[in-house]
Amino acid sequence: MTQRGHTFFVEGKMKKIIKIDGKDYTMQSSAYTQFAYRDLTGRSLLKDLQTIIGNVDKVQEDYSILDDMTEMILDIAYIMIKEADEKQVASKEDFYKSVESVYDNENPWLQDVITLAINPISRQLQSNINK
């Protein structure tokens, strides 16, 4: 059994295994992630992460944000899965169909996805601060 959120390095690139609905996905986030996300969605990864982080606790109170947030979360996870290993999912639609629960308190994969997506950006900001 794989430990939730197991982080490892391959050829100097940080990867993380995140379990979504019982299936382990290897995900990777890098500077490329934000460009792949924009190519897929036409939206800014940073703005969408900000929206998710600012609204994740409000989902139970305001269902009007649920559709957009769910799509953002699934798109971010899909991009990072494809970046780690394209063979893990055949298509975005197949990945979407495989996910039964996005807001699952039993398996909080959402936080792991957000943390991994932010990692390259936060490392760069930290590096600039320390100069």
pLDDT at 98: 92
- Sorted by sequence, the CB contacts under 8 Å of residue 60 that are 6+ apart come out as none
User: pLDDT at position 66, please?
Assistant: 80
pLDDT for residue 39? 97
Q: Where are the domains of the chain?
A: 6-126
From the number of C-beta atoms within 10 Å of its C-beta (0-12, 13-18, 19+), residue 30 rates as middle
Complete DSSP assignment for the chain: -PPTTEEEEETTEEEEEEEETTEEEEEE--HHHHHHHHHHHSS-HHHHHHHHHHHGGGTTT-GGGHHHHHHHHHHHHHHHHHHH-GGG-S-HHHHHHH---SS-SSS-HHHHHHHHHHHHHHHHHHHHHT-
pLDDT of residue 128: 46
Q: Which residues of the chain have pLDDT under 70?
A: 1-5, 9, 11-12, 59-60, 62, 104-107, 123-131
pLDDT of residue 29: 92
pLDDT value for 126: 47
pLDDT, residue 11, reads 67
